[in-house]
């Protein structure tokens, strides 16, 4: 005979008279925020196309775009049309792609490493790409304007993270993500040493390397976009598909494993996708900091802690954010340009400080 407390009887009663079971839903992707973020991207695109030394109205641009589809007469002169589609559009599109990639990669890194400070450069993409770029600028100065530079930066980023990952996962059994981050720091230090040594030996390259490291979208061409697009598109799609897996990883490696997730494989896939995409973005735009940190955290603070919301919204907000910061970078001191990394941090840091102060930081 068992003695049952009053509480257990109420539970048993409830089980027998329970209503037909409902369903439990995750918040997922809130519609209002999604529409807002999509509107932000469209607005940023129009501003990016319309603003510049030659003012062209967004309405005229929209009618010009429609005229190409429906065949009526465009309101734009061929000169204005060229400015919009051959000069501004590549820059806007590239800004959108790079911004979305950095924000999505940052969100994924924060999720898979359960570390709020993780950004896409955590495991040595930036140092690897910088070393690749420096080698080209120092030893093949005539090729620095060609596709060799982005290719070397792309491969350098992959080599950096690949070395960190091999080193980290060989000791990760006991150390988990900590070992991986430490391996990233180790590889990054080594790469920085090579980079600094080369720059110091060939000091005439300093200016060019520095300009590349500061990053920017001024070299954007449709051709460059075609080179980077496949990598960025595939990486982003893979990371988007992992948004629920990132939520599972948020309970830690051991519990995620107890829930049936192959943690090492999932983390490997996420890191590879984020690294390949980030390397492609860095190859065509240099090192643009801070986007990968503030965009995901702003969404985390304002909308949801679930990666089902963070990843897709980071994609949209990251794209719009970088397009707008690039507009500022190329207009405030026109015809000179402010490095875009300066603008992302100069505007992004105070904005994020306000968000951080006004919201409740509860951790990852």
Partner 1 sequence: MTALEARGVEVALGGHRAVAGVDLTVARGEWVCLIGPNGAGKTTLLRALAGLVPADGTVQLSGRGHSRRRRRELARAIALVPQLPETPPGLTVAEYVLLGRTPHIGYLGGESRADRVAAAAAIDRLDLRAFAQRPLYSLSGGERQRVVLARALAQAAPVLLLDEPTSALDLGRQQEALELLDDLRRSDGLTVVSAMHDLTLAGQYADRLVLLDRGRIAIEGTPGEVLTEATIARVYGADVRVLHDDGRVSVLPIRGIRC
**Interacting residues toward partner 1 by CB under 8 A:** 2, 4-5, 7-8, 11-12, 14-15, 18, 21-27, 241-242, 244-245, 247-248, 250-252, 254-262, 266, 300, 304-306, 362-364
Query: Measured from the CB of residue 6, what is the shortest distance to partner 1 in angstroms?
Result: 10
Cβ of residue 139: shortest distance to partner 1, in angstroms? 43
Structure tokens at 233: 């598109």
Instruction: Report, in Å, the least distance between residue 25 CB and partner 1.
Output: 6
Residue nearer to partner 1 on the CB measure, 23 or 53: 23
**Euclidean distance between CA atoms 318 and 54, whole angstroms:** 26
The first and second tokens of residue 52, run together, are 């510049």
Cα–Cα distances in angstroms (integers) from residue 11 to residues 6, 15, 18, in the given order: 9, 6, 10
Residue 52 or 257 with smaller CB distance to partner 1: 257
Q: In this complex, which beta carbon is closest to partner 1, that of residue 189 or of residue 241?
A: 241
| 123 neighbors 164 (Cβ within 8 angstroms) | yes
* Nearest CB to partner 1, comparing residues 173 and 357: 173
- Give the span between the Cα atoms of 326 and 339, in whole angstroms: 9
- DSSP structural state of residue 146: S
- Output the smallest distance, CB 307 to partner 1, in A: 10
Least Cβ distance, residue 119 to partner 1 (angstroms): 19
Q: Copy the structure tokens of residue 6.
A: 């009053």
The separation between the first and the last C-alpha atoms of the chain, rounded to the nearest angstrom, is 47
The dihedral formed by the CA atoms of 207, 211, 212 and 218, expressed in degrees to the nearest 10: -140
CB-wise, 146 or 262, nearer to partner 1?
262
Residue nearer to partner 1 on the CB measure, 8 or 196: 8
Backbone region of residue 114 per phi and psi (left: phi > 0; alpha: psi in -120 to 50; beta: other values): left
Instruction: Give the pair of three-digit tokens for residue 179.
Output: 């070992």
With respect to partner 1, which residue has the nearer C-beta, 52 or 178? 178
- Residue 202 has phi, psi (to 5 degrees) of -120, 70
In terms of CB distance, is 25 or 201 closer to partner 1?
Answer: 25
Are 58 and 47 in contact by the 8 Å Cβ rule? The answer is yes
Distance CA 84, CA 90 (A): 9
Cβ at position 29, least distance to partner 1 in Å: 11
Contact, 128 vs 160, CB < 8 A? yes
Minimal distance, residue 26 CB to partner 1, in Å:
5
User: Toward partner 1, which CB reaches closer, 32 or 336?
Assistant: 32
Among 303, 300, 322, 316, CA closest to 37: 316
Q: CB of 361: closest distance to partner 1 in angstroms?
A: 9
CB of 111 to partner 1, least distance (A): 10
Q: Are 84 and 75 in contact (CB under 8 A)?
A: no
């Amino acid at each position: 005979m068992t003695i049952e407390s009053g509480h257990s009887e109420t539970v048993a009663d409830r089980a027998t008279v329970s209503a037909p079971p409902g369903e439990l839903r995750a918040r997922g992707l809130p519609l209002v925020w999604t529409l807002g973020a999509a509107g932000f991207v469209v607005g940023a695109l129009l501003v990016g196309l319309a603003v510049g030394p030659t003012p062209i109205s967004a309405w005229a641009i929209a009618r010009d775009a429609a005229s190409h589809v429906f065949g009526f007469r465009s309101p734009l002169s061929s000169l204005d049309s060229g400015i919009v589609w051959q000069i501004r559009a590549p820059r806007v599109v590239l800004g959108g792609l790079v911004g979305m990639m950095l924000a999505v990669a940052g969100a994924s890194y924060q999720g898979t490493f359960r570390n709020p400070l993780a950004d896409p450069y955590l495991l040595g993409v930036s140092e690897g790409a910088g070393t690749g770029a420096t080698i080209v600028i120092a030893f093949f100065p005539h090729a620095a304007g060609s596709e060799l530079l982005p290719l070397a930066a792309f491969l350098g980023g992959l080599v950096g993270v690949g070395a960190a990952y091999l080193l980290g996962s060989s000791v990760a059994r006991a150390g988990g993500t900590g070992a991986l981050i430490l391996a990233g720091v180790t590889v990054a230090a080594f790469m920085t040493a090579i980079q600094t040594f080369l720059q110091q030996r060939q000091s005439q390259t300093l200016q060019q390397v520095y300009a590349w490291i500061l990053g920017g979208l001024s070299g954007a061409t449709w051709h460059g976009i075609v080179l980077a697009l496949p990598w960025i598109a595939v990486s982003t799609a893979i990371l988007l598909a992992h948004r629920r897996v990132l939520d599972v990883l948020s309970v830690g490696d051991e519990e995620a494993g107890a829930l049936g997730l192959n943690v090492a494989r999932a983390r490997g896939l996420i890191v590879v996708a984020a690294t390949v995409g980030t390397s492609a973005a860095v190859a065509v735009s240099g090192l643009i900091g801070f986007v990968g940190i503030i965009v995901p955290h702003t969404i985390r603070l304002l909308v949801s802690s679930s990666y089902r919301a963070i990843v897709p919204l980071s994609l949209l907000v990251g794209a719009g954010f970088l397009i707008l910061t690039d507009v500022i970078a190329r207009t405030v001191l026109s015809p000179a340009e402010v490095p875009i990394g300066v603008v992302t941090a100069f505007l992004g840091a105070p904005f994020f400080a306000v968000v951080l102060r006004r919201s409740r930081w509860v951790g990852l």
